[in-house]
Amino acid sequence: MGKTGKFLYFVVCYVFFIFTNLYLSNIMVENLLNGLHISNPVFSLNYVKNTGAAFSILQDSRELLIILSVIALVLLVMHVLKHLKSISLKTCFFIALLSAGIAGNLHERIAYGFVRDYFQLNFINFPVFNISDIFINVGVIALIIMILIKKTK
């Protein structure tokens, strides 16, 4: 696949992930605010306004987190553009997933002043998280695994 095709693939994946993320987050929060309650030994749905980043670091640092998110998004897109010739579709997919997660949290910080979290794991002590956080973690873990596999070849 050529450079244009790879970039188009990246953009389509990103747009799909960001719209899916925002749509599902809005549905989750709307249902939780209207009384939806799910709880079992594995997880609960629990609406939380998060003014910080992962694991409650940088609480009430909205502007800094917005700046860091914008920088991360620009760097990710620049990386894709710079390496279009050699980048794999799998890498494009996971960078798009990671970017959509960052952009989802960025959107909420700008639009609401906080990130809306709602998934809570009940079997371990773990912070409440959202779909954007899942996208970010899956993207990062997949990219790390791909880098490690490439290094061992």
Supply the residues annotated as catalytic: 117, 133
Per the CB < 8 A criterion, the answer to whether 101 and 139 are in contact is yes
d(CA 126, CA 115): 16
Q: Please write down the long-range contacts of 15-20, taking CB distance under 8 Å and 24 or more positions apart.
A: 17/96, 17/97, 17/99, 17/100, 17/101, 17/135, 18/100, 18/103, 18/104, 20/131
